[in-house]
Amino acid sequence: MLAYRHAFHAGNHADVLKHTVLALVLRYMNQKDKPYRLVDTHAGAGGYSLEGRYAQKKGEFEQGIGRLWDRNDLPEAVADYVSMVRTFNPGGRLEQYPGSPAFAQMLLRAQDQLRLFELHPTDYRILESYLGQVKGAEVKNADGFEGLKSVIPPTSRRGVVLIDPSYEGHGDYARVIATLRDGLTRFAEGVYMVWYPQVQKVEAAELPRRLEALAPKGWLHARLTVQVPDSQGFGLAGSGVFILNPPYTLHDELLKVLPYLVDVLGQYDEAEYLLEQRTS
């Protein structure tokens, strides 16, 4: 949906969950010397000003990265995530938030590859100017759902695919399923990470169970619920990540992370997390 701009939501609780998990997945991939390819189907602008009018409109980052910024009791994985956000803010103040492509650039090695898709023309131009000339990276102004088939499987047969659309467009939930089904036929051994919003839509509630059916080799599902929807049932109560073919270390790592994030990011007494998996 071309009207969607992630800048309104950059650094919120959903980004905290998504990027903490993404960092854990990529650090696991880095344990082997063999190169891999990261594909981001909805890459956004790559980085966002937290002092600009978009981020300041609702100040969502204040209830996300803002709550973690000055804490000295961070679990290891959360401390790693916050340290990368600090790297993105060399002046020491929380002024910018890195998008998924920026986290990827900080974590990928010289031998690894980055393939980024972004359909919004303004965000694409920003992303292209930021990473378009980086060795090993390709930035495409294209639909990532359609574009994924052109970049998998990588020749190394190692890869991670991040799928995190806005879910504001018509049919995004169905397109996630269709894209994954096709992707798995092309690259069954890939690690696929799907982010989704926890909102009061039937499609959102059904998505994890539909994803389970696509993952015969195993899956992991983590969800963080931090606030209640507004009186009309709107608003982002939380978010989830669903990983097909997850690293075997991820479940135990998230057991140390999710309770902490509930305590620090939770905005009501019933804030909670869910962590479940099935191994092959």
Q: Which residues pair with 160 in a beta bridge?
A: 38, 191
pLDDT digits (tens, 9 = 90+) for 18-55: 999 999 999 999 999 999 999 999 999 999 999 877 66
Region 111-139: what's the mean pLDDT? 97
What value does the mean pLDDT take over residues 76-99? Answer: 97
pLDDT at 3: 47
Task: Decide if pLDDT at 266 tops 70.
Answer: yes
Q: Which domains does the chain have, with CATH numbers?
A: 6-279 (3.40.50.150)
Query: Average pLDDT for residues 115-137, to the nearest whole number?
Result: 96
Active-site residue, selected from the candidate residues 15, 40, 112, 164: 164
Following DSSP, what letter does each residue of 40-105 receive, concatenated?
ETT-TTSEEESSSHHHHHH-GGGGTHHHHTT-S---HHHHHHHHHHHHT-TTSS--EEE-HHHHHH
- The answer to whether the CB of 25 falls within 8 A of the CB of 73 is no
Strands 137-140 and 159-163: unpaired
pLDDT for 142-180, tens place per residue? 999 999 999 999 999 999 999 999 998 779 999 999 999
pLDDT band at 232 (very low <50, low <70, confident <90, very high): low
Q: How far apart are CA 267 and CA 232, in angstroms?
A: 18
Q: Is 164 a catalytic residue?
A: yes
Q: Residue 89 and residue 278: Cα distance in Å, rounded?
A: 38
Mean pLDDT, range 253-275, rounded to an integer: 97
Whose tokens are 């980052």? That residue is 61
Which pLDDT does position 230 carry in this prediction? 62
Predicted confidence (pLDDT) at residue 8 exceeds the cutoff of 90: no
